[in-house]
Chain A
Amino acid sequence: MRNQLRKRLLITIPILLFVTLFNFILISLAPGDPVDAFFNPNATAADLEAKRASLGLDKPMIYQYFVWLGNVLHGDFGYSYSSYEPVTKILSYRIGPTLLLMGISMLVAYIIAIPIGIISATKQYSALDHTVTGLSFIGISVPSFFFGLFGIFIFSLNLHWLPTGGMYSLGKAADFGDRVKHLILPVAVLSLSISGKMVRYVRSSMLDVLNQDYLRTARAKGLKEVIVIGRHALKNALIPIITVIGLDIPLLIGGAVVTEQIFQWPGIGQLTIQSINSRDYPVLMAINLLSALFVVASNLLTDLAYRIVDPRIKE
């Protein structure tokens, strides 16, 4: 088991290298360069050259990549082309809001979806099951921007219950109630789509388990149905759900681009859009690396969780 984990860990290195290199190449293919976009129109060609040289943009692409990589390994992600602040600093105040938003959304989604999926499966083909299945389809079929706009239209513009966006009202940054109000709509949007997926998964996982021989054995012992479901079926049905949660974890970083944009939530997603618009490549590279790290780390965590929870995986 140790060895296997070590192997998994080693595989992540080429993965991260490849992902960053891919993005680096992609970015260097972009027409024009950031110097054109952000420099004073009065600057001379010589000024531009000097600026380009100072940013290292005159060197071959692969050389630039290794310079970037070397710096990253020293914890240096460079400076933003547009705000001239260190990239690490920009990320550090963007990551909190995103984690807050996505964390709460995932939590809400799971708390709703897991029990509903289970109940729906045990009552397969009932009216409740049909309703749940129908709603989960809506959850995966409504794009988040439309749901978000709709929410703003109703709850902010017509009913005036909730703010249209942002993370807090002016001067109320530490006000808990105010923060909750700002969270409700974006959390609703995000958790609708997360739970739509989850309900469907939990339900089908539970249906699989309900057909297993060992449930018949449990019933043959005379166990109450509550125990047959709650003890014998539940654990088996929930184990594969680890995979889905593992696949959701990277959304903590990159899952809220659209939602953050609609609600002007000052997180990584909004930063991504801004950086793309301003060709702020150091920031983009850092965001990419960060999200790739999340993907790789959550794969490892998923593996680990299986080893802990599932007795079928032998050492």
Chain B
Amino acid sequence: MDTLLTVDNLQVAFNTDDGEIVGVENVGFNIKKGEVLCIVGESGCGKSVTALSLMGLLGKNGFIKQGDAFFDGHDLRSLSSEEMRKLRGNRFSMIFQEPMTSLNPVLTVGRQLLEPVELHLGLKGEAAKKLCIEWLEKVGIPRPEKVFSDYPGTLSGGMRQRVMIAMAMICSPSLLIADEPTTALDVTIQSQILDLMEELRLESESSILLITHDLGVVAETADRVLVMYAGQVVEEADVFELFENPQHPYTKGLLASIPNVSDDFTERLKSIPGNVPSLQNMPKGCRFCERCSFSMDVCKTEVPPLFDVFPNHKMRCWLGDNK
């Protein structure tokens, strides 16, 4: 399969009142065409920052400090903001964690859905409207004509997330970035939304970068998995490999103690003693070292690189050094 997105050695930083802070660093991965890559990790580990940096949506104070990102033949870092804008919502698009606030409350659903259609597909008038209504139907919204002219305030969270999906997919992008698309929803709605995304992916042959807390979701949807901890990738492997043969102590800690895979990720983290270090005072060596039961002297002083422990299986831990 061809590679759609390549990210290498990505480092993202923010200018803040207290000087520059680094949100994520040394992040690298590939997404092949039609593949689902999941990024997992606990709150604050840099999942959203990674996704937003690829979209060029870091906001005023955030920027990519170093690294490379190639998408479908485009070098994302060398594109002008105007070229980036033309790809966004068109060749790659994004849906967000919080459906209740992600739609504009004072514009109708139709208006918001029409925007990418008019902008990227160049459709106007009835043709554009017809496509929108088709998509509203496709994402499972009852009475699409009515919803088209409603304001988002009249829709439930699940319905809004469906609208967001329609909005992100309507121009048939080759990559969909979904940042915790189901975290804010009820369990039953969650699986409906995931099924919908899977269905649309198969139909359009696009790739998905799915960010999640939920290992159950990972097990169900992912082809490959990236585990992040404190702003770094700590392990990357195919989904079966990761669940069968986890290598990094952090990943092991997550998986080992759990009898039931669909438990909430954050709950499970409590079984690992200690806290995530904050961005302002990262340890000099391995970032997991203080919570790690395998910690060695080298862990305290030297940052471990990503070791290729098996084919297609990398991890950031000195335990991988001799393999």
- Write the A204-231 contact mask toward B (1 if CB under 8 angstroms, else 0): 0000000011101111111110010001
Q: How many residues on chain B are close to A (CB under 8 Å)?
A: 30
A60 within 8 A of B: no
Are A217 and B96 closer than 8 Å at their CB atoms?
yes
Residues of chain A within 8 A (CB-CB) of B115 are: 218, 221, 223, 227
Choice from A220, A236, A314 contacting B106 with Cβ under 8 Å: A236
Are B55 and A221 closer than 8 Å at their CB atoms?
no
Q: How far is the CA of A310 from the CA of B104 in the complex (A)?
A: 12
- Write the A270-313 contact mask toward B (1 if CB under 8 angstroms, else 0): 00000000000000000000000000000000000000001110
Choice from A220, A232, A311 contacting B89 with Cβ under 8 Å: A220
Choice from B93, B98, B106, B154 contacting A221 with Cβ under 8 Å: B93
Are A221 and B153 closer than 8 Å at their CB atoms?
no
- Write the B83-109 contact mask toward A (1 if CB under 8 angstroms, else 0): 001111110011010100111111100
Closest A residue to B82 by CB, please name it.
A224
CB proximity of A212 to chain B, nearest CB, Å: 7
CB proximity of A130 to chain B, nearest CB, Å: 16
Give the residues from 108 to 125 in chain B that come closer than 8 angstroms, CB to CB, to chain A: 112, 115-116, 119-120
Are A236 and B89 closer than 8 Å at their CB atoms?
no
Closest B residue to A235 by CB, please name it.
B106
Are A213 and B116 closer than 8 Å at their CB atoms?
no
Question: How many contacts between A and B, using CB within 8 angstroms?
Answer: 74
CB proximity of B216 to chain A, nearest CB, Å: 26
Q: How far is the CA of A227 from the CA of B111 in the complex (A)?
A: 13
Residues of chain A within 8 A (CB-CB) of B282 are: none
Q: How many residues on chain A are close to B (CB under 8 Å)?
A: 22
Q: How far is the CA of A227 from the CA of B86 in the complex (A)?
A: 14
A100 within 8 A of B: no
B29 within 8 A of A: no
CB proximity of B65 to chain A, nearest CB, Å: 21
Residues of chain A within 8 A (CB-CB) of B88 are: 219-222
Q: How far is the CA of A232 from the CA of B120 in the complex (A)?
A: 18
Residues of chain B within 8 A (CB-CB) of A235 are: 106-107
Are B93 and A220 closer than 8 Å at their CB atoms?
yes
CB proximity of A24 to chain B, nearest CB, Å: 45
Q: How far is the CA of A213 from the CA of B98 in the complex (A)?
A: 8
Residues of chain A within 8 A (CB-CB) of B153 are: 311-312, 314
Q: How far is the CA of A231 from the CA of B90 in the complex (A)?
A: 20
- Write the B274-311 contact mask toward A (1 if CB under 8 angstroms, else 0): 00000000000000000000000000000000000000
Known: A222-B90, A223-B119. A311 touches B106 (CB 8 A): yes
